[in-house]
Structure 1
């Protein structure tokens, strides 16, 4: 790693003090904190950047997923690792084993700031809990990219979104509606209650359900499995016990949909209660083959992780600052333009069913 300027060393000392305070970074207010406990936003991205600047080598790019033992993040972060190492830089991954340990994520951000990494790619467990730590990192020259799940817009440089949030939320409803004949009770099996991406998608699902064509569909409950296989399995069981007339479940989380499919496949509800959501082909192939699941969708998580890496490198190299309207090249993935709220969208999700699931391996 490169030798840091004196000002960054001095700033890092301040971060050590933050860590020493234990939970102060999690919820307490500081001299520069807002009323909600988050720090005052770092400066908004400006148009100051050099798109013709060469890609820097020898950078250190750190990935901080929601949970390091989640197969989805193993795939996505693996995609990032390939890009980082091919660019002549150092990749590292850190994180907790729980998808709800926000204090743990804060601690890792503080540690990475002390280590003076060049960029952090983080999938936020909570939209606001990381703000103080992330803005401290940014003040110390660390570029911050969120991917998969965003934090507040003022707490990062760019958000790499897997797909348009509205498209995802609405297509999930469309899929389940087709499968249950536009009639009956449905439930949603989400991840954590604080997950930014999940809540955004669910908001669009609820809005889609207001349309006249879905007047005979009733959303009876949103359950939370916390991206834990056992909890998601138990939540599925609980939903079916509580709502014996349930016709369908939407699970917009790879852990949740797999756990729900596992329960349904061995129960009397197989083929009777429809399940859709977001899953990986490798996780869901057996359940599509045996008729437990008709169809579901997802983007390629490896490409999401790769785009996060390209974005982090472009930021650290000075090619972009994160300002809307800036364009950069992401290797063989092509060029991307930063949109509103400094967001970059990977692309539309892919639908999977018996006709095409055998063509994919991730």
Structure 2
């Protein structure tokens, strides 16, 4: 169902990779390009970046979100599409309808490698499951960027992060603590147990809770809704049945917080059990206005997708390699510096409440 995108110069390599993958092999032993093009992007081939190089046009960049048809990823990938159109390149999106189908993500990476797209921007469902396939992709000349949720650092060239993981984890606890008056039982409603970004944020949440000012707050449970609306709704219900004295829930996932808000809004707990986390203004607007949610936070997912697109094109153009300290310009988003482990930070999260939520339309 994916159109042919292989370049004539890569045809021999693509056919060889196809043969290897057909036998089920995913180790990094497949055929690569010739020595002039063997690494992902010209900068990777030489190990040197040239920020003054011309931006390549006519590239094909594939977005592989954790879950297609998820409103969050529809928005973020839409930002990537718009950016690529402005850059003179082609956008495509592939992916699974489940937020936990890691084998499905691996299959899509393998397919994109066969097609020899120029770059892949992937939001990983699992930090390690994609590594072999992504390393094979890079060996065959595909630039690899992760966005929203990372892999192991050696399995991609750059990670476009929403904000610092520490900021996101700590600020969600700070928001909830303020709403519950600094005391009471709280729970976390996460996505999948293997989700890299969720687990990193939760680690910082737990570390934040160790501070003296939170001595009267007790984290009683972390539940997992697998980024499925119905399961997240049921997990919210279960949390309140299991812990009737619960004072607050923090859900660092756009699907989870919306489902939790939906349950709370139609229950006796509305306004009594506080809810915060990461959500989109469009999803949460009604719940903020009816008093179910006081405040929550997020970054602009469209800008995140756009930055992932710019990063992929900069890699393929030889402007960056993903090394710490390199800088590049991402259109209207401005200038960015690559940090430790190839991390590119979009910026600080925004807090949304009744006073400002109508200013945002995503």
| TM-score class, shorter | over 0.9
Q: Aligned to 1:105, what secondary structure does the other structure show? A: helix
Structure 2 length as normaliser, TM-score?
0.93
Ranges in structure 2 where 5+ consecutive residues have no aligned partner: 30-38
Alignment of 1:248-267 (within 5 A): 248-267=248-267
Contact 2:6 2:116 in 1 (8 A): no
Alignment of 1:291-302 (within 5 A): 291-302=291-302
Q: Which residue is equivalent to 2:78?
A: 78
Choose the corresponding residue for 2:18, options 16, 19, 27. 16
CA RMSD of aligned residues (A): 1.8
How many Å apart are 1:86 and its aligned residue?
1.2
Q: Which residue is equivalent to 2:96?
A: 96
Q: Which residue is equivalent to 2:131?
A: 131
Ranges in structure 1 where 5+ consecutive residues have no aligned partner: 33-41
Q: Which residue is equivalent to 1:3?
A: 7
How many Å apart are 1:20 and its aligned residue?
2.1
Structure 1 distance, partners of 2:257, 2:203, is 19
| 281-290 or 9-18, which deviates more | 9-18
Q: Which residue is equivalent to 2:115?
A: 115
Structure 1 distance, partners of 2:237, 2:191, is 16
Structure 2 distance, partners of 1:128, 1:239, is 30
How many Å apart are 1:69 and its aligned residue?
1.1
Q: Aligned to 2:91, what secondary structure does the other structure show? A: strand
Structure 1 distance, partners of 2:139, 2:204, is 34
How many Å apart are 1:88 and its aligned residue?
1.0
Contact 2:28 2:136 in 1 (8 A): no
Q: Which residue is equivalent to 1:325?
A: 325
Q: Aligned to 1:302, what secondary structure does the other structure show? A: helix
Structure 2 distance, partners of 1:31, 1:340, is 25
Contact 1:80 1:306 in 2 (8 A): yes
Q: Aligned to 1:206, what secondary structure does the other structure show? A: helix
Q: Which residue is equivalent to 2:35?
A: none
Q: Aligned to 1:222, what secondary structure does the other structure show? A: strand
Structure 1 distance, partners of 2:308, 2:195, is 19
Q: Which residue is equivalent to 1:238?
A: 238
Structure 2 distance, partners of 1:355, 1:31, is 53
Q: Which residue is equivalent to 2:269?
A: 269
Q: Which runs of 4+ in 1 moved over 6 A?
A: 42-46
Q: Which residue is equivalent to 1:345?
A: 345
How many Å apart are 1:337 and its aligned residue?
0.4
